[in-house]
Amino acid sequence: MLRPYTICVVATGADDGCIACILLASTMRMTARSKRNRGAWNAAVFTAALAGLVLAGVVCFSQSVAAQGDGSFEVCASDMKKAPGNAFDSCGRFVQDSSTQDSENVRKAKKWLAENAPKLPFVQFLKSLSSDGNAQFVVYQPDLTIELPQTDRMARFGKLKIARSFANLTEEGMLRKAEAVYPGPNEMIRQLFGMWDGYPGGRFKEMKPIWGAVSNDEIMQAVTITASAVRYYYDVVLGAEKDPKMPLGFEATGTGLDYEAAIRYMDRYKHGEDSYEGVYVANLDLKWAFTCGGLCGIGFTRNKIVVLDRHGEVIAMYLDAPVNSEMWVS
């Protein structure tokens, strides 16, 4: 009875080396049916080894091509510019799969990974906010519990107004949800890379969804209206009333907070090319101004529109008002 034989051939052309193992076929065993026929036996082994070497080359080549396709520098470079949250994976694969660890592209990828390593925990947190990698918005549950007291008065240095309008408790809950809506993780990651301020050693002490960034005079500049943002400006006003000297030394000379939010049911609603029927529409407007001297100040107006269905689920958010791209500084 003939026993099967296995030939293993190592191909060293690949980065890690590839091994192709071939089980001698019955036709080869028939060629060398008797070990006494050494010439036929050696010929069979040589043929199998040669076939194995060719197969190993094909296997290694296909693995190499797959690795280059999955981790090419083109993908890495594109992610660094357009989708930095994905660059940790694509650039990491490129570096790992590259056969030349000292090429210019590998050095670029390694440099980007090293410089942005501190951002990785924040990126992972933002991605964890939604199971949908392409989510256009997220509802951040902790913001639902933030209290925004109704008020309309002159504070020590200017106007202080928070006006929230709703018809009943159901609508009030929907308005709270609208105030807890943030852009999707990908957009916040883009903002993170554009507004980076050194988490955890800089001004971002905690990982929370991003609604703005530190701007002129160390005051936050809102990008998206949220309950967290409104509460931040409300607390700045109250703090300046108690002590106008700010933590970094400059002194507040003017504050102005005007926040108006309203929600109502609409049989039909149209925004640009989008049309809805039987929805609740929340419109949020925020005006903020802060001065600390003749050449010290910042101000802006922001708008956010949130559309919810009859059951109170968010189905759209719009941040396309022209005022959202404007601000003033002094």
Closest by CA position to 272, among listed 206, 319, 330 = 319
Does 255 lie in the same domain as 244? yes
Highest mean pLDDT among 48-57, 121-130, 212-221: 121-130
Express each pLDDT in 69-96 by its tens digit.
Answer: 444 899 999 999 999 999 999 999 999 9
pLDDT of residue 287: 98
Across the range 235-250, mean pLDDT stands at 89
Burial class (CB in 10 A: 0-12, 13-18, 19+), 60: buried
Residue type, 262: A
pLDDT of residue 200: 58
Express each pLDDT in 274-286 by its tens digit.
Answer: 999 999 999 999 9
Does 155 lie in the same domain as 85? no
156, pLDDT greater than 50: yes
Across the range 132-156, mean pLDDT stands at 96
255, pLDDT greater than 50: yes
Residue type, 34: S
Work out the mean pLDDT of the chain and round it to a whole number: 82
Distance CA(197)–CA(329), nearest Å, equals 20
Q: Let me know if residue 222 belongs to a domain.
A: yes
Per the DSSP assignment, residues forming a β-bridge with 317 are: 306
Positions of E strands within 156-253? 158-165, 181-183, 212-214, 220-222
Does 146 lie in the same domain as 26? no
Residue 11 has φ and ψ, to the nearest 5°, of -105, 125
**Contact yes or no for 106/118 (Cβ under 8 A):** no
pTM, entire model: 0.76
Across the range 24-45, mean pLDDT stands at 40
Does 176 lie in the same domain as 35? no
Considering only residues 212 and 11, tell me which one the structure prediction assigns the higher pLDDT.
212
Where does a domain end: 48, 69, 90? 69
Q: Encoding tokens for residue 150?
A: 């109704």
Does 166 lie in the same domain as 46? no
Express each pLDDT in 275-317 by its tens digit.
Answer: 999 999 999 999 999 999 878 889 999 999 999 999 999 999 9
Where does a domain end: 52, 69, 86? 69
Residue-range definition of the domain harbouring residue 104: 72-119
pLDDT of residue 203: 62
Query: What is the SS3 assignment for 178?
Result: helix
